[in-house]
Amino acid sequence: MNLVIDAGNSFVKMAVFQNNKLLEKQILEKEKFSKKFRSLREKFPQINNSILSSVASGEDEMVSETEQHYPVLRLVNSVRLPFQNKYATPKSLGKDRIALVAAAVQSYPGKNVLVIDAGTCITYDIKTKKEDYLGGAISPGMEMRFKSLHKFTANLPLVESKPEAELIGTTTETSIRSGIINGIKMELKGTIEAYQTQFDDLTVIFTGGDSQILSIPLKNSIFANSNFLLEGLNFILEFNKTQ
């Protein structure tokens, strides 16, 4: 049984997997890690391995506490990956992107897959049917765009995001919403179509906190999975057990 820890700047996700099946997931503030970690250990005494991915400070403390109970695989550059990483600067590749590509390999082996993660940033990552990771793109996320318009202009308000936006905005608020929401959807549609011209039978995975708001109707299948990143981390852990 595996414990998967994904530590962000403000929140930590912890998940328990058994035979690649997600048994429990918790999202918590970093300050509550010790308390929640203890409760998970008590609830799942069968846990015997763990993996930790962190982009925040305090990683060493979490690793130290976890190592008192289980071996910890830290997601660092030297970790074996279940795909060939052909990124030109692998040391700068985000841990979240690595985990998402690993999940794509596990769930869709032998297929061309484009993973789109709509969060703080919108990331696009492509892995081929030969399990080669080629790279992708990074674009500003939805909330980042709303905040940027407000911050870098004198008179534009901070507008709340909503799932739908009219094409023609009739107020400043609806015009901003139209520009951002429809602009991102057009970006997504155009980017997917561009990848489809280069990769046959492309499977598109759409995940991340804003994936529901930004979902777009396309002929090709799009599978939204909020646990995709955690599944990728678990797969990396399982992959390293067999090496």
Q: Is 120 annotated as a binding residue?
A: yes
Tell me the backbone φ, ψ of residue 125, rounded to 5 degrees.
-135, 130
Give the integer Cα–Cα distance in Å for 175 and 1: 50
Residue 117 in marked binding region? yes
Does residue 44 have a known ligand-binding role?
no
Q: Is 200 annotated as a binding residue?
A: no
Per the annotation, does 197 bind a ligand?
A: no
Residue 148 annotated in ligand binding: no
Q: If we measure between CA atoms, which residue out of 22, 174, 208 comes closest to residue 97?
A: 208
Neighbours of 20 (CB within 10 A): 12
The reply, when asked if residue 11 is annotated as ligand binding, is: yes
- If one counts every other C-beta atom within 10 angstroms of the C-beta of residue 27, the result is 12
Catalytic residues: 96
172 annotated as belonging to a binding site for a ligand: yes
Judge whether 94 is annotated as a binding position.
yes
Which own/partner pairs from 161-170 qualify as long-range (CB within 8 Å, at least 24 positions apart)? 161/210, 161/213, 162/213, 163/212, 163/213
Contacts with 95 (C-beta within 8 Å, 6 or more apart), sequence order: 53, 54, 55, 75
97 is an annotated ligand-binding site residue: yes
Q: How far is CA 83 from CA 24, 102, 129, 143, in A?
A: 27, 7, 10, 32
Q: Is 135 annotated as a binding residue?
A: no
The span from the CA of 195 to the CA of 126, in Å, is 9
The DSSP result for 31-72, as a single string, is: GGHHHHHHHHHHH-TT--EEEEEE-STTHHHHHHHHHTTS-E
* 7 labelled binding-site residue: yes
Give the residue ranges of the annotated binding site for K(+).
Answer: 117
Give the residue ranges of the annotated binding site for ATP.
Answer: 6-13, 120
Give the residue ranges of the annotated binding site.
Answer: 6-13, 87, 94-97, 117, 120, 172
Give the residue ranges of the annotated binding site for substrate.
Answer: 87, 94-97, 172
